[in-house]
């Protein structure tokens, strides 16, 4: 990898793409040139980066000539079509979609957990699902210390995980309710304002949604733990940004709250906020915009042997997407 690479961001005008650009600038990523790529309808727009207005170009098969590194966040179909073209041009792809996550030839990486896996890439490295990444930031240090057998979890996922139209829908519905107007829906199958939907992604024959199965499937790959089991319910909540997950985990070894806190306080990329007596615990309102995830409400699980309960929050546009992708890029430069 060129130590001052030419970087492209695919899906540059989307919510995650914008965060990728901001994160590259904020972390002073040593790129020599930035190319912004998106659909034809976004071509010609400009995005500010390092005091320069950079025009957005239409994504085409030949867009990757001379590009060293491409950060993709434009959906699975775009990744499947254009990531191989980028690799043919000699570019390394970090892909934020689900297109390649479970491909045995593609590393699925959370740098704090399995950063060494970037070494065996064949041109494409996958970013995990946002809820998976946020959950594992707290679960993996505990697994490494005590050996996680299984978890039961419920997610509380912000509307920004669905995109800009979902944010607008929540804003519109709140305004409509406050003013006594009829509530309109475009994105979600039910009203999201002042409501929660136990439905994230499409349903599978087993009754779970695709989002719910990702935590088990991706967790096994990221943690190198083929026996890991996860029963998950994913819920969309009327929060703008940052996901939260309530986890009950069962471990092979006995685990105390004190021992768990010692482990979690040393975990990279994770803050411990755990003082219930003072009403201090992680909340999405305050994790929004922060690089680190936060864990709290740590307590013994009274229904599981060697069990522990905890609550973890993280910004799904950052650690769940853009930040994780840029961290992978930083690893590539360091290897």
Residues annotated as binding site?
13-16, 41-42, 101, 157, 160-161, 236, 316
Beta-bridge partner residues of 303 = none
Q: At what angle do helices 130-146 and 210-223 cross, to 10 degrees?
A: 40
* Angle 45-48-53 from CA coordinates, rounded to 5°: 65
Active site residue 313: no
- Sign of the Cα pseudo-torsion (193, 162, 311, 212, in order): positive
Binding-site members for substrate are: 157, 236
What is the C-alpha to C-alpha distance for residues 300 and 144, in angstroms, rounded to an integer? 18
Cα dihedral 33, 31, 79, 291 in deg (nearest 10): -130
The residue from 91, 130, 234, 293 that is catalytic is: 130
The residue to which tokens 């967790």 are assigned: 219
Binding-site members for phosphate are: 101
139 SS3 class: helix
Q: How far apart are the first and last CA of the chain?
A: 8
Beta-bridge partner residues of 156 = 235, 244
Active site residue 243: yes
The residue from 243, 293, 309, 313 that is catalytic is: 243
Neighbours of 131 (CB within 10 A): 27
- Helices marked H in 147-209: 164-178
What is the C-alpha to C-alpha distance for residues 266 and 230, in angstroms, rounded to an integer? 25
- Residues across the chain: 335
* Angle 134-136-138 from CA coordinates, rounded to 5°: 85
Contact (Cβ atoms closer than 8 angstroms) between residue 34 and residue 95: no
Beta-bridge partner residues of 7 = 34, 69
Instruction: Report the catalytic residues.
Output: 130, 243
């Amino acid at each position: 990898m060129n130590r001052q690479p030419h970087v492209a961001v695919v899906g540059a005008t989307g919510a995650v793409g914008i965060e990728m650009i901001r994160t590259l600038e904020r972390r002073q990523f040593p790129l020599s040139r930035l190319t912004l790529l998106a659909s034809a309808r976004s071509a010609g727009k400009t995005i500010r980066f390092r005091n320069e207005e950079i025009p957005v170009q239409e994504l085409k098969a030949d867009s990757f000539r001379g590009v060293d590194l491409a950060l993709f966040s434009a959906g699975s179909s775009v990744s499947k079509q254009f990531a191989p073209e980028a690799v043919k041009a000699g570019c390394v792809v970090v892909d934020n979609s689900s297109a390649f996550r479970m491909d045995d030839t593609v590393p699925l990486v959370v740098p704090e957990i399995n950063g060494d896996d970037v070494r065996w890439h064949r041109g494409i490295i996958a970013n995990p699902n946002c809820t998976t990444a946020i959950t594992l930031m707290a679960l993996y240090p505990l697994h490494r210390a005590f050996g996680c057998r299984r978890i039961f979890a419920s997610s509380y996922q912000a509307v920004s995980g669905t995109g800009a139209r979902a944010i607008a829908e929540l804003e519109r519905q709140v305004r409509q309710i406050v003013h006594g107007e009829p509530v309109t829906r475009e994105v979600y199958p039910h009203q999201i304002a002042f409501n929660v939907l136990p439905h994230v992604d499409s349903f599978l024959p087993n009754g779970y949604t695709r989002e719910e199965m990702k935590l088990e499937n991706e967790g096994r790959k990221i943690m190198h733990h083929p026996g890991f089991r996860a029963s998950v319910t994913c819920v969309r909540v009327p929060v703008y940004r940052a996901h939260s997950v309530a986890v009950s985990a069962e471990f092979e070894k006995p685990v105390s709250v004190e021992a768990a806190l010692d482990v979690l306080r040393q975990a990279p990329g994770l803050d411990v906020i755990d003082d219930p007596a003072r009403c201090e615990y992680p909340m999405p309102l305050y994790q929004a915009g922060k690089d680190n995830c936060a864990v709290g409400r740590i307590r013994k699980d009274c229904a599981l042997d060697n069990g522990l309960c905890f609550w973890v929050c993280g910004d799904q546009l950052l650690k769940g997407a853009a930040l994780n992708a840029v961290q992978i890029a930083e690893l590539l430069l360091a290897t």
